[in-house]
Amino acid sequence: MGSRTMYYQLKIDYIGINKFEKIVKENGLTIQQKRKRIITTDGFYEKCDTNLINGLTLHYINQVIAGDITYLILKDKTYYIFTLKDMYSKRIIGLYGSDTMMATNAIITLKQAIKLRGKDINNCIHHSDAGSQYKSIAYKNMLNKNQIKMSIAQNCLENGMAEQLNGVLKNDYIIKDIKNVTDLNKQLKEIKRLINEEKPVKELNYKTPMEFEKWLQTANNPPKIELYDFTKQIEGTLERHNNKKKFSELN
């Protein structure tokens, strides 16, 4: 995990957070990020695909779940990690590793979430990129069977929360000594436990996702989370472009 998260988890009170981060860095305790990019989407966004969560206000868990696929290269072998995360509590509700990008792996991950949440997941929104795995007939049928609506991000920014989890998995937790997919999923199971039960989250007032969900059960006034409205960003960009064009015509 990151040094900032470690600071809050250890409840250090005798030095400040900036000093702690400096000590960690100076002693070579930070994890070095590996830079290589593999495309996990088909790069094609149909016009009919809609982002249903633009500007949405979240009031509770099971309102929106975010899915994504990331990858790991270990000893010249590529593995893929399929994730599902509750956008309100930040809890990982589905996590599965494979050596293929087949839609069946995404379905396994979705089944984990459905088993965990039960009927409470009905009528929620499933948000992801336009990966072919999520748009497969079998995956859509699973969503429909559980009355889950599909929302598609139009670019990586619109699926930022799921992308953020990818970075945490690959950069904050060391995955090593993987011989096969079974080994990978054993490590992912423990990583999921660590993130859900031991990793404090700033947006949750430094509670872990599990602590936050437990707190919600008796909370009188649960916090609201306003999701970013990317349509306003697009409208603002178009307005600036049109104003610039008008100014050029006047001159």
> Which has more confidence, 220 or 37?
220
When pLDDT is cut at 50, 70 and 90, the band that residue 173 belongs to is confident
Does the reported pTM lie above 0.85? no
Q: Rounded to an integer, what distance in angstroms lies between the CA atom of residue 70 and that of residue 129?
A: 12
Q: Does residue 55 sit in helix, strand or coil? A: coil
What is the distance between the alpha carbons of residues 5 and 94, in angstroms, rounded to a whole number?
Answer: 22
Question: Three-state SS for 122?
Answer: coil
CA distance 164 to 92: 12
DSSP state letters, 62-84: TSEEEEEEEEEEETTEEEEEEEE
> What letter would DSSP give residue 98?
E
Cα Rg, the chain, nearest whole Å:
20
43 pLDDT higher than 50:
no
CATH superfamily of 34-230: Ribonuclease H-like superfamily/Ribonuclease H (3.30.420.10)
CA distances from 44 to 106, 111, 169, 233 (A): 19, 26, 26, 21
Which residues, 6 or more positions from 12, have their beta carbon under 8 angstroms from its beta carbon? 20
Contacts of 72 (CB under 8 A, 6+ apart): 78, 79, 80, 81, 170, 175, 178, 184
* 219-223 CB contacts, 8 Å cutoff, 24+ apart: 222/59, 222/60
Pairing between β-strand 225-226 and β-strand 149-152 as defined by DSSP bridges: unpaired
Share of residues in the chain with pLDDT > 70 (%): 73
Of 114, 79, 76, give the one whose Cα is nearest residue 94.
Answer: 114
DSSP secondary structure of 212-225:
HHHHHTT-SSPPPE
Vertex 14: Cα angle to 9 and 17 (nearest 5) = 55
Over residues 218-237, mean pLDDT: 79
Would you kindly state where each structural domain of the chain is located, as residue ranges? 1-30, 34-230
Q: Is the pLDDT of residue 90 over 50?
A: yes
| C-alpha–C-alpha distance, residues 139 and 23, integer Å | 47
**24's tokens:** 């960690």
195-225 pLDDT, tens digit each: 999 999 999 999 999 999 999 999 999 999 9
